[in-house]
Amino acid sequence: MFWNLFLKECRLQWREKRFVWSLVVLLLLAVPAVAVGFAHYRSDLSEVEAGAVAERERWVQQGPKNPHSAAHYGIFVFRPVSPLRVWDQGITPFAGGVVFTEAHIKTDASYETAQDQSTLSRFGSLTPAFVLLYLVPLFLMINGFALISGEREQGTLRLLSASAADPRRLLAAKWLSLFPIVLLVGGVMLGLGLVLLWGRLPAANLLTASALCALVLLLYYGTIANMTLLCSAVLRSSHQVLVCLLLFWMTSSLVVPKLAASAAESWFPTPDREAFHGAMKQEKKSGMDGHDPADQRVARIRTETLAKYGVEKEEDLPINIDGLLMQEDENYGNKVFDRYYEELAAVHAQQERVFQWSSLLSPLLPARVLSMTLAGADSGTQHRFNEAVEVFRRDYVELLNTDMMHESRSGDWRYQADEGLWSRVPVFTFDFGSPLSRFATQSAALGMLLLWFLITGVLTAWLAPKFLQKVTP
Amino acid sequence: MMWRVIWAHESRLLRRDRISLAAALGFVMIMIAAAWVNGDKLNRWEQAGATAVAEQEARFSAQHADLVAMEAGEKHYDSLFGSPQSYFSWAGAVTVFPFDSWAMLSTGSGDLFAPVSQVKFYTKARVPGHDTANPMPRLFGAFDPAFVLLYLLPLFVIALNYGIVGDERECGILPMVLAQPVSPRQLFLLKIVWRWGVTSLVVLFALCAAFAVGGVNPLAKPLALAQLAGLVWLYCGFWFLLCLLVNTGRRGAHQCAVALTGLWAMLLLVVPAGAHLIGGLLYPIPSRIEAIAAQRLAAADAAKQGGEILAKFYQDHPELSANRGDTYAQYKATFQWYQRTLAVFEAVEAITAPMEQDFEARVEARLRFEQGLALLSPAVSVREALDELAGVSRVHYRAYQQEVQDYAARFRMFFAEKAFGESVIESADVARLPRFDMAPLQSNASVLRALAWLALVNLLLLAACAVLGREIPAR
Amino acid sequence: MLQAIGLTKDYGDLRALDTLDLTVEAGEIFCLLGANGAGKTTTLNLFLNFIQPCAGEARVDGIEVAKQPTDAKKALAYLPEQVMLYPKLTGFENLTYFLELSGLRLPESERNALFDQVGLDQAASRRRLETYSKGMRQKVALAIALGKKAKALLLDEPTSGLDPRASKTFSDLMTNLRDQGMALLMATHDLFRAREMSDRIGVMRSGKLVGCYQTADLTTAELESLYLQHMSEA
């Protein structure tokens, strides 16, 4: 019985012109989206790898130099490319991918690729996530809006109701009939992605990411299917159902995310970059909260160091006090940076909470956040990358200052280190973490998506059968 | 006077249609909200610029007072370190993007480039992004009047007109209407023209409300206002004519709604994203990594050639060696360091210039190609035009970038003159220190292109409607 | 008044109307009977220029519909099976609009008189159409026909769905119009009403007019018998 109902629904959908058209369009978009995403991944990867190798080579072969000069010569760090970015570019085009690291200064990632793109880029990129999160739900709605209201208008609902069919089974069959095509499109994309990325990251990670992605999509599509069926059952005419669903899609996919973005920036504004860096520089100079200004710190360290080594003149110290002073300055600066960046991270966290709460109005938001997170293209991963770069910067600057401190004497600015020291600076590496660990950081988004699925599911299961009895428009 | 009959009838129907009236009111409210939200952001950016300039001028003024005091012998520094005579005390000068008052219309590229940046004479000038900002909001884009016009206006038009013929056909009114002695083509064209006009008025009213919320008097720029009105009218018309065209067949209202939704998704989501994808494939732009690598290599080479580079610099700038003084002979070593640094900087610029030009040329080629593809969707042309009217388009930011580069060159030359003249900064120099000053760029190429393109597309649609609308099936 | 001369309409391979020759004079009611798909509605659609003939001519008051549709429609009124008008407008406003579409601007008193003629009271004519029954909507359509001073009226299954009383009222209205000199062509399945109000009855089968009878010569039973006979020949 159930099987027959399900097959009948599928058959009816297949006979609709709009169904075939939209399926063709989706498949035509799905395959290039994956293929081109993969091509971009490969070219980005080779650029980043070549850039990192060349940078390392330049660093190691920079020739004899004072370590502090080398610390200002600095090292460019390039953000690695996650293979899963084929799936979803996320924030990548809008977040800097290059960081110049040097002594005294914590710089942010810069050179956002979006800066070099045309207006077209602001309309979105044709990635698998774009197809699956934006277009497929639209497809679901367009094909499912008349599932019940259409039958009511044609009068067939009257016949169905008069038959012995259990309304819940009927609903379940209609609900499930929305999925074969979605599974086909999603399956094609996931399958193609798996084939292309096989061997580019550990199989367990790839399979986990695919499974989690499928879970997110099923929850999201389940929510959309619930909404579609609910509207189709409750509203009077197919017109109303269609308008209502399109309104929901538009609000959920376009308006709420943009409103959330604007509200987040308006309620919790991030400081202007010049003001932010200016304040850090000033605080480093005048001391945190105005205490312990730089010149006093320097004087105190000088006095303490002379006392520690029991000498009266800096020339008699067994170390180069300039190296020590610079490292102490780094340590102090790091405290200032930490404080400011913690405050900045708190602002970002508040902004992201706006997105989380906005998820109550849009199931797309949590789905998109989870998709980006799985792809390693979310703001959390970017934040971890920035932190990793900063740890790398601090470590190598300390290595250079320590070398200067122990290998030269105070006032000896002519001291030069060589390749031996440069080679001791480790190569920067960044671990994206496993998809599961990244996914775990977005439990709130998963909770929201689950909430959407459950609430719309319960409403559909509760209300739709009642309205199914209403056989006239 | 058939137009009077039909327009009076449409007007009566509209007055009775609470949903349409609510939708119009909703549209106006959304537009006002968008203007308010975007205006708030614009205010923050403008405030950041004003603060940065004020702080710079306060710093310069304090340093100038110090210099005067030093020259009068009232103040003394033991070394150049920390002294206002040092170049470093004047090294950073702010550049501020000149926002037009109409910027409340669109965020444009404003969220990609920091409104304030600093130029230093010893580093390469570039306009950075919003490094401190969370990239998430930029991913989803801004909620601004341009978004409302671009995405929501077509939906508003579609929602109210998807069944302009189909609805009457489905309701069964059409046979009664077509049984009357009136040409169906004339009837529906008059209907669409009335609705188009009313919708355009609603949108213009919404825009005026948006301007009022943003505290802008649109009449101050009558030409731009006329262009905006024309753009809105034509863009509205495009969607109206599309509604009419879809309705000319034998489709019912909900088939038309599905078709129009599909077209909306195609023109606003799929075509731009697809065109971007094709542009990326055919005109790949290397990331900045290659450019950075080249610059690093050039800098390393230049540093190794120190002496030769300096000699070449003198060759290129003979005027700089003419004014050398010996008042500050005690800082000779410092001056020489600056001379070398500046010479190396210029040499690196010269070496990397071809690569930069190549990079820019590739970006330009891609932009041109994508601009061509953008014609596939009027939405892209309209977005470009709106960004241009708001003064925040790519063109505006590219001009700003260029202006910053030029300013950086002037700024650097000021210090080069001092370094090669072997002089520290003196109080008289402060007035000569170049300040960044750029007026909002006046450009309307994209607007005119969009107007022409939309007019052409609308004419084609009108012709198609006229041909296909000769026979409107009653059932 | 209404004239079909060799009127033919094909839908692909299907001949929906086969060389129909028919004349309906002024002051005459002609009923077309026939099974579903016999060509009755196609005939009406051709007179209304909703579709184009493949051959032959449809003429209204001597005007060829396919060549001068607007002129032909000036002399024509139409009453579909389901009269649907603008539900958000009142009956009075609907009447005004449809008359204006025909280029007629009548004073309010004349428009009120039209409603009186078709038996719709003033108060009802000021209510929105969404509150009307099918019979009331038909009366508005008839008021439009009267207001246009149409010379011919085409009716498509007008009595289906009407209760017997409304049906009788409708029948009286039709005969009244006929008496005023209007030509009426009506497609129907209702043999009883057809015999009661028409002057002549045509039976259609597979796009052809297979029989034409003077109503006065027939009882309802005879008409039914003739009709069934024609149908069984298929």
Instruction: Name residues whose C-beta falls within 8 Å of residue A90's C-beta, 6 or more positions apart in sequence.
Output: A129, A371, A372, A375, A377, A378, B139
| Closest B-chain CA to A137 | B265
* A272–B132 C-beta distance less than 8 A: yes
Residues B405 and B329 in one domain: yes
Look at residue A300 and tell me if it is in a domain: no
Look at residue A86 and tell me if it is in a domain: yes
Look at residue B273 and tell me if it is in a domain: no
Look at residue B43 and tell me if it is in a domain: no
Distance, CA of A355 to CA of B184 (rounded, Å): 50
Look at residue B275 and tell me if it is in a domain: no
Structure confidence by residue, pLDDT tens digits, A66-83: 898 899 889 999 999 999
Give the pLDDT score at A390.
94
Structure confidence by residue, pLDDT tens digits, B36-56: 999 999 999 999 999 999 999
A17 pLDDT tier (thresholds 50, 70, 90): confident
Look at residue A317 and tell me if it is in a domain: no
* B173–C84 C-beta distance less than 8 A: yes
HSE value, Cβ hemisphere, 13 Å, CA-based, for C117: 20
What is the domain range of residue B458?
A: 2-36+144-268+448-468
* B48–A126 C-beta distance less than 8 A: no
Closest Cβ–Cβ partner in B2, B12, B181 for C73: B181
Task: Give chain C's domains with CATH numbers.
Answer: 2-75+151-232 (3.40.50.300), 85-150 (no CATH)
Portion of chain B with pLDDT greater than 90, in percent: 38
| Closest A-chain CA to B40 | A266
Residues of C with CB under 8 A from a CB of B: 45, 48, 50, 52, 69-74, 76-78, 80, 82-89, 93, 97-98, 100-103, 141, 144, 154
Look at residue A111 and tell me if it is in a domain: yes
Write a three-state SS string for chain C. Answer: CEEEEEEEEEECCEEEEEEEEEEECCCCEEEEEECCCCCHHHHHHHHCCCCCCCEEEEEECCEECCCCHHHHHHCEEEECCCCCCCCCCEHHHHHHHHHHHCCCCCCHHHHHHHHHHHCCCHHHHCCEHHHCCHHHHHHHHHHHHHHCCCCEEEEECCCCCCCHHHHHHHHHHHHHHHHCCCEEEEECCCHHHHHHHCCEEEEEECCEEEEEEEHHHCCHHHHHHHHHHHHHCC
Nearest Cα of chain C lies from the Cα of B473 at a distance, in angstroms, of 6
Closest Cβ–Cβ partner in C70, C77, C88 for B182: C70
Residues B417 and B306 in one domain: yes
Give the pLDDT score at B416.
87
Mean pLDDT, residues A195-218 taken together:
92
Look at residue B136 and tell me if it is in a domain: yes
Mean pLDDT of the residues in chain C? 88
What tokens were used for A181? 């095509």
Chain A residues 160-219 with CB within 8 Å of chain B: none
Locus of tokens 């009186």:
C116
Give the pLDDT score at B318.
65
| Closest B-chain CA to A257 | B140
Look at residue A463 and tell me if it is in a domain: yes
A267 pLDDT tier (thresholds 50, 70, 90): very high
Look at residue B475 and tell me if it is in a domain: no
Nearest of C133, C189, C184 to residue C157 by alpha carbon: C189
Residues B80 and B136 in one domain: yes
Look at residue B474 and tell me if it is in a domain: no
Contact B470, B185 (CB under 8 A): yes
Residues B462 and B418 in one domain: no
* A96–B273 C-beta distance less than 8 A: no
Mutate to test the interface with A, among B81, B131, B334, B404 (most CBs of A within 10 A): B131
Structure confidence by residue, pLDDT tens digits, B158-184: 888 888 888 788 788 888 888 888 888
| Closest B-chain CA to C128 | B16
CB contacts of A382 in chain B (<8 Å) are 135
Check contact A-B (3+ Cβ pairs < 8 Å).
Answer: yes
Strands C200-205 and C29-34: parallel
Closest Cβ–Cβ partner in C52, C76, C88 for B16: C88
* B177–C102 C-beta distance less than 8 A: no
Mean pLDDT, residues A159-186 taken together:
83
Look at residue A26 and tell me if it is in a domain: yes
CB contacts of A272 in chain B (<8 Å) are 44-45, 48, 51-52, 114-116, 132
Mutate to test the interface with C, among B2, B9, B187, B191 (most CBs of C within 10 A): B9
Average pLDDT per block of 10 residues along chain C, 234 residues long: 90 87 91 88 90 90 88 88 87 91 88 88 90 88 86 87 81 88 90 87 89 84 84 72
Structure confidence by residue, pLDDT tens digits, C154-200: 998 888 777 888 888 888 888 888 998 899 999 988 888 888 888 99
Q: Which segments of A359-417 does DSSP mark as H helices, in order? A: 364-374, 379-407
Residues B332 and B435 in one domain: yes
Which 3 state secondary structure label does DSSP give A408? coil
CB contacts of B250 in chain A (<8 Å) are none
Residues B248 and B328 in one domain: no
Residues B154 and B65 in one domain: no
Number of residues written out for chain A: 473
Look at residue A278 and tell me if it is in a domain: no
* B159–A274 C-beta distance less than 8 A: no
Contact A94, B135 (CB under 8 A): yes
Check contact A-C (3+ Cβ pairs < 8 Å).
Answer: no
Residues B292 and B396 in one domain: yes
Give the chains touching C; criterion: ≥3 Cβ pairs < 8 Å: B
Distance, CA of B422 to CA of B416 (rounded, Å): 9
Chain B residues 145-184 with CB within 8 Å of chain C: 171-173, 175-183
Nearest Cα of chain A lies from the Cα of B311 at a distance, in angstroms, of 23
Structurally, chain B folds into a number of domains equal to: 2
Nearest Cα of chain B lies from the Cα of A305 at a distance, in angstroms, of 23
Residues B179 and B109 in one domain: no
Residues B396 and B333 in one domain: yes
Question: Is residue B251 over pLDDT 80?
Answer: no
Give the chains touching A; criterion: ≥3 Cβ pairs < 8 Å: B
Distance, CA of C209 to CA of C197 (rounded, Å): 20
Residues B342 and B457 in one domain: no
Query: Residue A307 — φ and ψ, nearest 5°?
Result: -65, -40
What tokens were used for B466? 């006229």
Q: Which residues pair with C14 in a beta bridge?
A: C11
* C80–B172 C-beta distance less than 8 A: yes
Give the pLDDT score at A422.
94
Portion of chain A with pLDDT greater than 90, in percent: 42
Question: Is residue B294 over pLDDT 80?
Answer: no
Structurally, chain A folds into a number of domains equal to: 1
ipTM over 0.90? The verdict is no
A289 pLDDT tier (thresholds 50, 70, 90): low
Could you tell me which residue, B157 or B331, shows the higher pLDDT?
B157
Cα distances from A185 to residues A21, A279, B354, C76, in angstroms, run 14, 51, 46, 55
CB contacts of B394 in chain A (<8 Å) are 118-119
**Residue B136 at interface with chain C, using a CB cutoff of 8 Å:** no
Query: Residue B438 — φ and ψ, nearest 5°?
Result: -135, 130
Burial B211-229 (b: 16+ CB within 10 A, else e): bebbebebeebeebbebbe
What is the domain range of residue A150?
A: 2-271+339-468
Mean pLDDT, residues A283-287 taken together:
82
Residues B175 and B92 in one domain: no
* B183–C50 C-beta distance less than 8 A: no
* A276–B55 C-beta distance less than 8 A: no
